[in-house]
């Protein structure tokens, strides 16, 4: 199945069968938001829409199903991911997008893979999917409207703010912080400093 027909009814229906209705609606919201951000910031709207739609295709309410897929796909977990398996759904989703939907575009797969943690040297599409997941219309938390506004003015600053809010949330819940997010945040701050100097 090529990228051109990914949005044909069959693929959407297949996705709908793989995830909960709530997750499906969230994915539609992320796809639309990603497309808007891509248009605003000069990325491929088609790639953004596909990545947004597929970003959670491997998310399962069952930890066992998630870990079974991790083993099946040969995904190597680090120590943090072993302790916080929900962080693995990006890796699983990227594998499913490739194996089940035939999406072999590395930029799309990478933006799906790292949409939860971010990473150093994020591409434009990776930033867009990370942020779209955070600010899609179904999201409702204090500061989300300001973040949506910021996303149209300064993409990097909006991604940075989303990372900050994520880290605060993770700390409050007493969960482990993935070093990839810390490294991504530090990279973004350093990049902004280099650009402004």
pLDDT in tens, 146-161: 999 999 999 999 999 9
- Classify residue 18 as left (phi > 0), alpha (psi -120 to 50) or beta: alpha
Q: What is the pTM of this model?
A: 0.94
pLDDT of residue 70: 96
| Mean pLDDT (whole number) for 161-183 | 95
CATH number of 3-196: 3.40.50.2000, 3.30.70.580, 1.10.3210.10, 3.40.50.970? 1.10.3210.10
Give the end-to-end CA distance of the chain in Å, rounded to a whole number.
Answer: 46
State yes or no: pLDDT of 94 exceeds 60.
Answer: yes
Confidence of residue 126 (pLDDT cuts 50, 70, 90): very high
Q: Which of 27-36, 141-150, 166-175, 186-195 has the lowest mean pLDDT?
A: 186-195
pLDDT of residue 1: 46
Nearest to 14 by CA among 96, 127, 121, 111: 96
């Amino acid at each position: 199945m090529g990228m051109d027909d990914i949005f044909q009814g069959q693929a959407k229906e297949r996705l709908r069968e793989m995830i909960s209705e709530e997750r499906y609606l969230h994915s539609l919201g992320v796809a639309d938001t990603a497309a808007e951000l891509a248009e605003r910031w000069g990325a491929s709207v088609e790639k953004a829409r596909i990545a947004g739609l597929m970003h959670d295709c491997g998310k399962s309410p069952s930890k066992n199903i998630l870990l079974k897929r991790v083993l099946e796909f040969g995904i190597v977990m680090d120590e943090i991911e072993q302790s916080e398996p929900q962080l693995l759904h990006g890796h699983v989703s990227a594998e499913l997008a490739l194996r089940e939907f035939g999406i072999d575009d590395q930029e799309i797969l990478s933006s799906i893979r790292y949409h939860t943690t971010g990473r150093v040297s994020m591409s434009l599409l990776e930033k867009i999917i990370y942020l779209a997941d955070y600010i899609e219309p179904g999201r409702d938390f204090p500061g989300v409207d300001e973040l949506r506004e910021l996303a149209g003015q300064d993409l990097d600053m909006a991604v940075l703010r989303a990372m900050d809010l994520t880290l605060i949330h993770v700390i409050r819940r007493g969960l482990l912080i993935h070093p990839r997010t810390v490294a991504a945040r530090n990279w973004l701050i350093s990049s902004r400093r280099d650009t402004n100097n």
